[in-house]
Amino acid sequence: MSSAPDNKKQNNRRVWWNLWIYPKFQGMLLTINVLSLALVFLLIGFMTNRSYEQLKEQGILSQLQPSHPYFQFLNLQYKLFRSHLVFAFFSSAILISLATLFLSHRLAGPVVRMKGYFKRLSEKGYTGEKVSFRTADFFSELPDLINAAVEKLIKR
């Protein structure tokens, strides 16, 4: 017998899975967004690494000993920065992935509905069915245009 929390977890998984309606399109958007984010973070990491190397060179040119607190402080700052950068990347990747999933769901919904509508239209002919989108979907003007065009073609 399953408990209420188990059912809630299962329902939450279903909700997230239901947002994945056009995997090829949504996966491509998700991949592009995460790769773009990774590129930006890699660039930040590279530029910061160069800055720290220049600061080390300045310490060496100033004839500071390798055990000098300057180098210890510099190493500490660099380690902290890297860990913060990694945390920021993964936090951003999660947030961007969620935003992309929600946005792509609203973008893909109309495509999926039109695809199904035209498939039924080609298989069964005109049945009087009208295409419609969900309230939150993008391209809300398309159903009226499609329905008017199909009705005009049928009347010919």
Which residues constitute the domain of residue 82? 22-125
Least confident of 36-40, 58-62, 150-154: 150-154
In angstroms, the CA 4 to CA 149 distance is 49
Token look-up 């947030």 returns 95
What's the pLDDT band for 10 if we cut at 50, 70, 90?
Answer: low
* In a domain? residue 135: no
pTM score: 0.76
* % of the chain with per-residue pLDDT over 90: 76
Half-sphere CA count of 129, side-chain side, radius 13 A: 16
* Number of domains, the chain: 1
Q: What percent of the chain has pLDDT over 70?
A: 89
* Rounded-to-integer distance, Cα 128 and Cα 59, Å: 79
pLDDT at 13 > cutoff 80: no
Task: Using the predicted structure, report yes or no on whether residue 8 has a pLDDT greater than 70.
Answer: no
Residue 152 lies inside a defined structural domain of this protein:
no
116 lies in some domain: yes
Considering the domain boundaries, does residue 137 fall inside one? no
